[in-house]
């Protein structure tokens, strides 16, 4: 008789744990409703005199040096504003996980400035956690 009750308890215990895996957890994006906005995280580049700085290109890397983004022109023509990460990079970030990304400013095939940003993504968009709004390139 005791084995019968133990078996039933184990079965109920197994059902309980299996059903927990089907519930939506906070980091799950199942059923998320996103806006049609496309978010870009940008930084201004200036020289030591405060004038706009125009690099040959900028690149963004993960901390394990995987290229995430590259850009050879400003995000807005005529402005010295460059995108370091955007919504097309959501899969590179994971959900609600802080990530450090390395932003490199390149001129004449040389990295002239490098900075680190901390970013994350929710189910829909990239979010800046920390980092400069303007980078001064000497």
Say which range, 10-14, 17-21, 30-34, 99-103, has the weakest mean pLDDT.
17-21
Q: Give pLDDT, residue 11.
A: 42
Instruction: Answer whether 129's CB lies under 8 Å from 98's CB.
Output: yes
CA distance linking residue 37 with residue 83, whole number of Å: 16
32 within a domain of the structure (yes/no): no
Q: Are 132 and 115 in contact (CB under 8 A)?
A: yes
CATH number at residue 67: 2.60.40
Q: What is the pLDDT of residues 64-115, one digit of tens each?
A: 999 999 999 999 888 899 999 999 999 888 899 999 999 999 999 999 999 9
| Residues of the domain holding 64 | 40-137
| Structural domain count of the chain | 1
Q: Is residue 28 part of a domain?
A: no
Which one, of 62, 68, 123, 131, lies nearest residue 96 by Cα?
123
Helices (H), the chain: 2-20, 90-93
Residue 2 in any domain: the answer is no
Query: How many angstroms separate the CA atoms of 120 and 129, rounded?
Result: 7
Residue 108 belongs to some domain of the structure: yes
Please answer whether residues 112 and 105 qualify as being in contact, where contact means their C-beta atoms are separated by less than 8 angstroms: yes
Residue 29 lies in a domain: no
CA atoms within 13 A on the CB side of 66: 8
**Residues 6 or more apart in contact with residue 27 via CB below 8 angstroms:** 95, 96
Task: Note whether residue 118 is domain-resident.
Answer: yes
Does 126 map to a domain?
yes
Determine contact, residues 75/30, Cβ cutoff 8 Å.
no
List pLDDT tens digits, range 41-77. Answer: 999 999 999 999 999 999 999 999 999 999 999 998 8
């Amino acid at each position: 008789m005791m084995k019968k009750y133990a078996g039933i308890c184990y079965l109920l215990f197994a059902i309980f744990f299996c059903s927990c895996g089907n519930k939506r957890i906070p980091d799950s994006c199942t059923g998320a409703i996103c806006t049609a906005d496309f978010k870009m995280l940008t930084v201004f580049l200036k020289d030591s005199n405060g004038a706009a700085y125009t690099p040959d290109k900028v690149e963004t890397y993960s901390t394990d040096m995987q290229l995430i983004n590259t850009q050879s022109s400003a995000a807005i023509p005529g402005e010295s504003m460059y995108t370091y990460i955007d919504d097309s990079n959501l899969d590179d970030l994971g959900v609600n996980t802080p990530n450090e990304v390395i932003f490199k400013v390149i001129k004449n095939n040389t990295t002239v400035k490098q900075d680190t940003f901390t970013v994350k993504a929710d189910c829909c968009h990239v979010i800046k956690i920390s980092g400069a709004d303007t980078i001064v390139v000497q």
